[in-house]
Amino acid sequence: MTFQSSISTLQRAIGNVEIAVRVDEFGITKLTDLRQEGSMRTVFPKSTNHNLEAVIVNTAGGITSGDKFTILAEVADGAKLSLTTQAAERIYSVSYTHLTLPTTPYV
């Protein structure tokens, strides 16, 4: 009996979050668009100020090689968004590495 495994056949997590916010006529930041896919979810804890707080949750349980996650945030003029994850994210070791991060945020 032989076992064959390749990186293309292993199960991988994919998650995407797109969030857009704007400020209303009272100066309070409001959510205008939210898209969630795969293992990425967003929760919004109650805020005591006029900012919008968004917490990104990875339901996959960690990050391994081959996983693909994308977070896009659009913040309109005058709006305030605090964007974070629920805790430190566990990244598991692998036999090869490839990580792509943008060098500068789009403003």
Give per-residue pLDDT as tens, 19-66: 999 999 998 999 999 999 999 999 999 877 778 999 999 888 777 777
Query: What pTM did the predictor assign?
Result: 0.71
Give the SS3 label for residue 63: strand
> Smallest Cα–Cα separation from 55: which of 74, 75, 71?
71
67, pLDDT greater than 60: yes
Give per-residue pLDDT as tens, 82-93: 988 887 666 666
Domain ranges in the chain are: 14-85
4/1 Cα distance (integer angstroms)? 10
